Amino acid sequence: MATNTLLIHSSARHSGSVTRMLADEVAQTLAAPITVRDVSAGLPVVTEDWITARDTGEHAPILDTSATLIGELRAHDTLVIAAPVYNFSIPAALKTWIDQVARAGKTFRYTKNGPEGLLTGKKAYVVVASGGTPVDGPWDYATPYLRHVLGFIGITDVTVIAADALGNDTDKKLDAARAQIAALPSAKAA
């Protein structure tokens, strides 16, 4: 059961976006307070100045966006990511969000045994939609990447809700995704 949900929208489409529609349905089904972060309008990209500021460990205004986004992740126990597949991978806007939140010492740390994620105890739902790319198919680079990067920062409980290869049997695939959403745990049921 979710107690609070961070919903990340990344589709460039606001009207007619399958990931926006289904991710909103996931968030509503979880029936928890929802914070929406729409990254589609763009976030600051990592630059040399950003890296320099990060490496000094001192507060720098260029890192404020990163700190805000990390704060949002820490403050929520459930994450819903709406991830359309663009050219076999995630939108640039979503990658920029990941670049801002995957920070050593903040969301992961290096240990003698390798990297360790610091955002443990959270649940993530990744809503993936594509026109022709089958989720977890040989040319799907989006879904495995998202599972990996979420695990890297400590979020290992990840459920993928797929409305993939919508170029064929669209209604059937949307119905299957909605059935998966309907089966999710709800705070209303608790």
Q: Are strands 78-84 and 114-117 parallel, antiparallel or unpaired?
A: unpaired
Residue ranges per structural domain of the chain: 5-189
The domain made up of 5-189 has a fold known as Rossmann fold (3.40.50)
Q: How far apart are CA 27 and CA 126, in angstroms?
A: 11
pLDDT value at residue 31? 81
**190: pLDDT strictly greater than 90:** no
Task: Show the tokens assigned to 186.
Answer: 């709800």
Residue-wise burial string across 172-189, b where 16 or more C-beta atoms lie within 10 A, e elsewhere = ebbeebbebbeebeebee
Mean pLDDT, rounded, for 55-68: 92
Residue 67 CB partners (closer than 8 Å, separation 6+):
none
**125: pLDDT strictly greater than 80:** yes
Q: Is 121 left (phi over 0), alpha (psi -120 to 50) or beta?
A: left
pLDDT value at residue 185? 87
Residue type present at position 79 = L
pLDDT tens-digit series, residues 132-169: 999 999 999 999 999 999 999 999 999 999 999 999 99
Phi/psi at 96 (5° precision): -65, -40
Residue type present at position 103 = R
**37: pLDDT strictly greater than 80:** yes
Residue 26 CB partners (closer than 8 Å, separation 6+):
80, 125, 127, 161, 181, 184
Residue-wise burial string across 74-98, b where 16 or more C-beta atoms lie within 10 A, e elsewhere = eebebbbbbbbbbeebbbbbbbbbb
